[in-house]
Amino acid sequence: MTEFTHLDKEGRVRMVDVGEKAETKRVAVVVGRISMEAATLDRIMDEKVKKGNVLEAARIAGVMAAKKTSDLIPMCHPLNITHARVDFSFDTSAPAIMIEAEVSLVGKTGVEMEALTAVSVAALTIYDMCKSYDRAMRISDIYLKSKSGGKSGTYTAT
């Protein structure tokens, strides 16, 4: 890509006009991780965190964040998301929680930012709910795993 699509000819920031683009089914999958002490992971897995069910709170926060992405990221279009899911898996050897979000819609622009936001806010929610046990938790490795739809077609991270 040789030009910045969010800048006009004079270098002023603008929202990209997607009005002429075709509506297609668009799906984005993003993954990330939050590393922590083994005892913290045990508390989460055993639902022994005093603030409540960490993963369900993080799941709700992630879905809500996907829906509110245009309020958080300048130049993102408000989208009519038709599906959002946030799932978790445990890596007890790390120890860490892997987070995966999938967001989809039928529309004129992609949902990568919404899926990235979902994973980020889910991780932040885990941190917030567990920080009294483990302030050294690390959020990392958030990236686009795959996307489909639109003019640029399918992408899968290698």
Which helix (H) or strand (E) segment is 42 a member of?
helix 38-45
Q: How far apart are the C-alpha atoms of 17 and 141, rounded to whole Å? A: 31
Please pick, among 87, 128, 134, 141, the residue that the annotation labels catalytic.
128
> Is 128 assigned a catalytic role?
yes
For residue 33, give the nearest of 86, 85, 88 by alpha carbon.
88
Q: Kindly state the helix (H) or strand (E) to which residue 123 belongs, with its residue range.
A: helix 112-130
How far is residue 90 CA from its own chain's centroid?
A: 18
Q: Residues, the chain, total? A: 158
Active site residues: 128
